[in-house]
Amino acid sequence: MIFAFLCGGAAVLCAALFALFLIAPGAYMRLYGVTADASAIFIGRRASPLFLGLAVFFWLMRDAGPGPLQEGTALAAAATFAGIAATGIWSYAAGSASFAILVAAGLELAIAAAFVLAP
């Protein structure tokens, strides 16, 4: 039940990020005080299908029963969200992102922890 909820929530989050990065990557970057130059916008748009793929993956995995598939999915999700949080913390420490990135990193770490505890 918790695993299904986490996968459903992650799917919705990833779908929203796909749309945001595809349509308005600069808006996302400005949220964290990052300059949205042409190179950053290009990379954001190119990366957007990765979020779509994750959204589809999480949506389809939400009904996976207990076992190796659920455990592997939970571990992969935890690694993904913890890694994204780490890059945010690194960016803040390096002075290239505003404090807002730490709020996002806290949420990402909470999602990672939830996936660790879910199976």
For residues 62 and 3, is the Cβ–Cβ distance under 8 A? yes
Predicted local confidence at residue 85, as pLDDT: 98
Predicted local confidence at residue 98, as pLDDT: 95
100 Cα distance to chain centroid:
15
To the nearest whole number, what is the mean pLDDT of the chain?
Answer: 95
Domains of the chain, residue spans:
2-117
Whether pLDDT at 14 is above 80: yes
Q: How far apart are CA 91 and CA 98, in angstroms?
A: 8
Q: How far apart are CA 22 and CA 16, in angstroms?
A: 10
Question: DSSP class of residue 64?
Answer: P
pLDDT in tens, 31-77: 999 989 999 999 999 999 999 999 999 999 999 989 999 999 999 99
Predicted local confidence at residue 26, as pLDDT: 93
Percent of the chain at pLDDT exceeding 90: 92
